[in-house]
Amino acid sequence: MIPVTGFDGQKVAVLGLGRSGLAAARALREGGALPVCWDDNPDARAHAEDEGFACENLLQNNAFEGVATLIVSPGIPHLYPAPNPVVTAAQEAGVPVDNDIGLFFLSFAAPGWDEFDVPPKVVAVTGSNGKSTTAALIHHVLESVGRPTQIAGNIGRGALDLDPGVENEVVVLELSSYQTELARALTPDVAVFTNFSPDHLDRHGGIGGYFAAKRRLFSEGGPDRAVVGVDEAEGQFLAGQMAEGPGDRRLIRISAARKLTGPGWQIFARKGFLSEYRKSRQVGSIDLRAIPGLPGAHNHQNACAAYAVCRTLGLAPKVIEAGFKSFDGLPHRSQIIARHKDVTYVNDSKATNVDAAAKALSAFGKIRWICGGLEKEGGLDGLLAATGSVVKAYVIGREAAGFAMALKGVETEVCTTMSRAVERAMAEAEPGDVVLLAPAAASFDQYDNFEQRGDDFIAEVTSRL
């Protein structure tokens, strides 16, 4: 646990008692603060009370009297599409609003660090897609060379659940836009921007607000080194904002779409080969084609980002390559779950938006595609160009018929349930086919989260093999 500093003896309100909220309450108490907690869910309140936390309705009159700050869990809106009433009450009372990531950066550095020859570093990874894989890949490579490392944030543990830093350690944080948009402190040593595509637009008031939330990690944080994917206009703009000149080595540009040139530090992947250039000269390369845990161009982009971070941390290209080769990938992200009668079954339930699904589709040929769910703002037109390898789509979800109609030019079958979709895809699959779950939609119409959806796919496949 990272004890939160700066609030000793002060009352701090905590709104939302899920993983990050409870971790924040524990860390605040450990640091001497007096947490006052609230969640609309009575079961969540009961859990907190079992741990000895006081729960008080933060909408009661004078609830914020004497409160130093309000800590808000990531899923709770503070501005768009409308602020949570508790957030509004805090702001009207003049109480600052923060989140667990802000508390982490405020509190991670400890007095004992003065005795370290090499103090801990923090790598923070954001972007629209590939954050989890990139963060996990960095963490895996560091583990493979025996360097102390922990991973948290939007993956694994809450940031404040981490152990205090030790000498030469690297903490890897995956940060969503919900986390970066509100944190009052953002000071990573290395910040990563993987890529950008529209997502969570209602929460951020449009695409500009979504990009602004991502950009805060760089503009507010001032990282010692920035790794920026430049395959979209937003990434190019961000790279331009971070660099003081063409040869500024504090910026590493990455791409999975084209060769990068220029006097600066560039890392790109083309035709399955990763290349590192500095001052217009190649200084490192990796053949990514035979690495099973990193299939497809989108994973090659993740590999470029992870490679850049590991090079920043002093690892040699061959050492990084060895780490890549032992990486098995993450559950629900291009996860190969079975091969049977020359048919491959792949779980990419994390492909919850159009861009992520398009990248999953581009990684394979002859696809029996299971898709559908709670469609996100913007529709499916941006996905159609990537459907050339789709033999047939098997559509799930409560609005499966409407989703199928939007897949113009693709043969579809309305299945509604995962069970029916898997049954039909397996019955029609031929040798060489890939049965791919890449929903291009949120899961909440049928499942609690994308993990549960992916687990259902795995269970349905394995029960039929």
Query: By the 8 A CB rule, do 80 and 109 touch?
Result: no
∠ CA 70-75-78, rounded to 5°: 50
d(CA 460, CA 372): 17
301: nearest Cα among 270, 280, 336: 270
Query: By the 8 A CB rule, do 381 and 403 touch?
Result: no
Query: By the 8 A CB rule, do 396 and 371 touch?
Result: yes
∠ CA 187-188-189, rounded to 5°: 120
d(CA 20, CA 38): 13
Query: By the 8 A CB rule, do 313 and 121 touch?
Result: yes
Structure token digits, residue 187: 């000071």
Exposure b/e, 158-174, CB count within 10 A at least 16 = b: bbbbbeebeeebbbbbb
Q: What φ, ψ does residue 173 adopt, rounded to 5°?
A: -115, 125
Segment holding 322, helix H or strand E: helix 317-325
- The alpha carbon dihedral of 206, 93, 220, 315 has a sign of negative
Burial degree of 261 (CB within 10 A; 0-12, 13-18, 19+)? exposed
| Residue positions forming the annotated binding site | 127-133
Query: By the 8 A CB rule, do 174 and 109 touch?
Result: no
Bridge pairing between strands 67-72 and 121-126: unpaired
Q: Is the peptide bond before 81 cis (omega within 30 degrees of 0)?
A: yes
Bridge pairing between strands 273-278 and 281-287: antiparallel
Q: Provide the greatest CA pair distance for the chain.
A: 68
Bridge pairing between strands 170-174 and 149-153: parallel
| Residue positions forming the annotated binding site for ATP | 127-133
d(CA 268, CA 277): 9
